[in-house]
Structure 1
Amino acid sequence: MKLGPDIAAVITGGASGLGLATAKALIAHGVKVALFDKNAEIGPGVAAEIGAVFCEVDVMDQASVDAGFVKARAANGQERLLVNCAGGGFGGPNKTVARSKEDGAITPYPIENFQKTLELNLVGSFRCIVGAAAGMMTLEPTEDGDRGAIVNTASVAGEEGQMGQVAYASAKAGVIGMTLNVARDLASEGIRCNTILPGIFDTPLLARAKPQVKAALSAMVPFPKRLGAAEEYAALAVEMLRNGYFNGEDVRLDGAIRMQPR
């Protein structure tokens, strides 16, 4: 798909990190961008700075997502591109069932945290895919035959979840698992779907980490021995969106890291 001012995009989690880097990359190609993000404190300023439209959206809430699409389309027209970057976890690391080293007490995983993590990462992504794809299907195909293209964000944890990551790993494994199905479901409509599996990236989530923690994480990466840059994610996302033969793929972007049990 040829990127330019006649193309509109929606990016979830777009006010920071991977989503913001992707928004900037698409805007550099002339694409009209709407940022879906629930952070209303920074979102409007970020959007104004880069020339995007901010939509306060919680991807865990259907009405919020629907309203976001209405606002984005009123400003930019029907989107042909969707990049899902909204995600995270709830409750911190927890084993499936843990035993205390101090007193032997047994603590089951908080099921509510498991459900909320799946709702944010997996259901939230699918909710936005459904909304965007339904809109894309109303468009005529481009000269390349594309009605639209979707990029999801999973994680290497979806293939190699570490101890205490069972909810997050399950959610990201679900994102990986739905990619080919979505691509097949939408193939006859000219809508492609791919997923990126980032490794350890230098995002706002790690901004509060101590330098020694970042150094230790960097040392885990075979090459290059550093954290990934958001711009590197954005570059791959842009290629997935514009390359018409890129479809149904889950691609690791991780410096060859393979996560150990802990």
Structure 2
Amino acid sequence: MQLIDTAAIVTGGASGLGAATARALAEKGATVHALDLPAAIEQASQVPGVTYVAADVTDESQVGAAVATASADAPLRTVVSCAGIAPSARILGRRGVHDLALYAKVVQINLVGTFTVLALGSEAIAATEPDEHGQRGVIVNTASIAAYDGQVGQVAYASSKGGVVGMTLPAARDLAQHGIRVCTIAPGIVDTPMLATVSDEFRAGLAAGVPFPQRLCSPAEYAQLVTMVVDHDYLNGETIRMDGALRMAPR
């Protein structure tokens, strides 16, 4: 699918995976609307071809307004969901039972937020004219290998990302009649701002656990895979692990 003269939406687009993806799609010729929280946008590096839009993925009205803006001047063809949080807490920890509000918040942002963007984004994509092959667009969601190998303290995060994996095939089947493909990427350990506060020693330990290549993944590699999914018209309904063959231990 061609990106030139089309619009794209990337959530979590001000930093990490989202920022790298927004840049990559803009370099491919798309007009990119990077959705994120106002505080994140204030710290974002400005990228040619990328417009930053303040929007909370848990707010349907804000997502709807952002989708309308993105699709106003060019056909919306690409939607990528990168927004998410990853707090750590055990079901029974030293402070007692897992905070139920925290669990709900993780699911609300990572899973319900992803679905909201998928649903409203697909509505706008479905309203566009198809290309000569009947294609209208592609939606790429972000899960995690924690969906399969959730570690101690990751019950909320793994639940939310498992839900993203679970929605992939039925979403692809639902949207097939509209010429919209749906895929999910499940990254391993990516060198994002979430890891910026840990020590070099800890980072080296994380990298040593990856079979090959024995290093952390870069956000640019995630973005590269997004563009590959967009380019490859026969990829649909698939969750792709991007983890250097890592299978995470219990802790």
TM-score normalised by structure 2 residue count: 0.95
Deviates more, 1:233-242 or 1:139-148: 139-148
Given that 1:194 and 1:246 are in contact with CA atoms closer than 8 Å, whether structure 2 keeps it comes out as yes
Aligned mate of 1:96, from 91, 94, 99: 91
Given that 1:47 and 1:54 are in contact with CA atoms closer than 8 Å, whether structure 2 keeps it comes out as no
Match of 1:31 in 2: 30
| SS of structure 2 residue aligned to 1:80 | strand
Aligned runs of 1:1-262 on 2, under 5 Å? Answer: 1-4=1-4, 6-38=5-37, 40-43=38-41, 46=44, 48-74=46-72, 76-89=73-86, 92-98=87-93, 100=94, 107-262=96-251
Once the two structures are TM-superposed, the CA of residue 32 in structure 1 deviates from its matched residue by: 0.8
Deviations 1:124-147 (A, max 9, x none): 000000001011111111123211
Given that 2:67 and 2:124 are in contact with CA atoms closer than 8 Å, whether structure 1 keeps it comes out as no
Once the two structures are TM-superposed, the CA of residue 94 in structure 1 deviates from its matched residue by: 1.7
Once the two structures are TM-superposed, the CA of residue 93 in structure 1 deviates from its matched residue by: 2.0
4+ aligned runs moved over 4 Å, structure 1: none
Q: Distance in 2 between matches of 1:197 and 1:52?
A: 25
Given that 1:22 and 1:231 are in contact with CA atoms closer than 8 Å, whether structure 2 keeps it comes out as yes
Given that 2:23 and 2:47 are in contact with CA atoms closer than 8 Å, whether structure 1 keeps it comes out as no
Once the two structures are TM-superposed, the CA of residue 27 in structure 1 deviates from its matched residue by: 1.1
Q: Distance in 1 between matches of 2:47 and 2:178?
A: 35
Cα distance, 1:68–1:237 mapped onto 2, change above 3 Å: same
Once the two structures are TM-superposed, the CA of residue 72 in structure 1 deviates from its matched residue by: 2.3
Deviations 1:131-165 (A, max 9, x none): 01011111111123211100000000001100110
Cα distance, 1:45–1:78 mapped onto 2, change above 3 Å: farther
**Alignment length (residue pairs):** 251
Q: Distance in 2 between matches of 1:60 and 1:254?
A: 28
TM-score normalised by structure 1 residue count: 0.92
Given that 2:76 and 2:128 are in contact with CA atoms closer than 8 Å, whether structure 1 keeps it comes out as no
Point out the structure with max Rg over C-alpha: 1
Once the two structures are TM-superposed, the CA of residue 44 in structure 1 deviates from its matched residue by: 5.9
Counterpart AA for 1:135: A
Given that 1:154 and 1:195 are in contact with CA atoms closer than 8 Å, whether structure 2 keeps it comes out as yes
- For structure 2, list consecutive stretches of 5 or more residues without a partner in the other structure: none
Cα distance, 1:145–1:47 mapped onto 2, change above 3 Å: farther
